[in-house]
Amino acid sequence: MAGFKALLATRTDQGQTVDWVELTEDDLMAGNVTIKVTHTTLNYKDGLAVAGKAPIFRRWPMIPGIDLAGVVEASRCRDYKPGDKVLVNGWRLGETHYGGYAEKARVEDGWLVPVPKQFNCSDAMAIGTAGYTAMLCVLALEENDVKPGDGPVLVTGASGGVGSVAIALLSKLGFEVIASTGRTEEEDYLKYLGAAGVVDRGELSGEPSMLGKERWGGAIDTVGSSTLANVLSQMKYNGAVAACGLAQGTDLPASVMPFILRGVTLQGVESVLAPKQRRLDAWKRLAKDLDIGKLRAMAVAHPLEDVLELAPKIVAGKVRGRVVFNVG
Ligand code: NDP
């Protein structure tokens, strides 16, 4: 049986090690669809996992990579046949089930999303969990009735993956987008994606006030902590915040004042176990509302081998936009 290359994380007495290994299909985990992985990507969570900065792996050994895209090689289900282009986001890939940092994967058909015809497998991974989560955040704002006329929408962690895709989506939908970033030198990039203005993230990351001047009709927050608390305090009456991230921290030193005096909504967004229909809806909207030129401009292609060098960089907030790994 022909072997394939994979990155394997192993737990030792000294801690975690990650090594390139040769596996065979017999080594793959249970599932009814086998995929030749052509592309994968680097999300913040992948960086934490590979760099050993957080306990992302829940089973050992583990192939990291929470996303993958590729071509079906073998299928024991009716919905997919060899040659179909498919993608997987989450479902605990790279946590409890072998993930995308390998030339092959085997998963349950219920986890698969067909790659929309507007995208190729590289585009699908330029989107990845980060972009699909950005879309979930936009859906959350829409479901909370945030409209372009309600005032500017703030996106925090703007130069990162979720932030970059969120800006491109919101601007296409007619929102006035303000990007909060620690990299003000990326102003041209953020404006190219569709930001109308840029604020230094230092304005939002300090000691939160209970209630500030009303500034934002909506917000997508990827950083949490005092930034999210400050954002909440600056929301306009009946505004909504979609919160998905923790790049600044997991705490939330906020007060109830924005909720009880301004009717502000704080909507949590979770991507890993989102139901299948929600994913299909999100990918349908990505195909419709994401400018493919902007998507390709925010993505940089690398060979998968570069993951070891890039993982600590994304955790340090030093990766702009999205990374696509070519596999094999
Ligand atoms: P990235 O690393 O690409 O982006 C995060 C951005 O946050 C950075 O680029 C930086 O933007 C900003 N940032 C980094 N460190 C700090 C800090 N200390 N204080 C304030 N801002 C900071 O990550 P992703 O876009 O992939 O993910 C963003 C967040 O969303 C992560 O926390 C991730 O875990 C979470 N996430 C959650 C999901 C869910 O299902 N809930 C799914 C996907 C992601 P800048 O330089 O512009 O300030």
For 260-286, the pLDDT digits (tens) are 999 999 999 999 999 999 999 999 999
H/E segment holding residue 70: strand 67-75
pLDDT tens digits for range 313-325: 999 999 999 999 9
How many Å lie between the centroid of ligand 1 and the Cα of residue 250? 12
Q: Do domains 4-115+295-326 and 129-268 have the same CATH topology?
A: no
DSSP state of 162: H
Instruction: Classify 48 in phi/psi space as left (phi over 0), alpha (psi -120 to 50) or beta.
Output: alpha
Percentage of the chain beyond pLDDT 70 is 100
Q: Is the pLDDT of residue 14 over 90?
A: no
- Ligand 1 centroid distance, CA of 42 (Å): 12
* Distance from Cα 24 to the centre of ligand 1, integer Å: 35
CATH of domain 129-268: 3.40.50.720
**How many helices and strands (H and E) does the chain possess?**
10, 15
Locate the domains of the chain by residue range.
4-115+295-326, 129-268
Tell me, using a 6 A CB cutoff, whether residue 43 lines ligand 1: yes
Q: How confident is the model at residue 1 (pLDDT cuts 50, 70, 90)?
A: confident
Q: Is 189 in the pocket of ligand 1 (CB under 6 A)?
A: no
Interval 41-79: pLDDT, tens:
999 999 999 999 999 999 999 999 999 999 999 999 999
State whether the beta carbon of 45 lies less than 6 angstroms from ligand 1: yes
Residue 244: CB within 6 Å of ligand 1? yes
In 220-275, alpha helices (H): 225-233, 257-262
Nearest CA to ligand 1 atom 20: 248
- Is the domain covering 4-115+295-326 a CATH 3.90.180.10 domain? yes
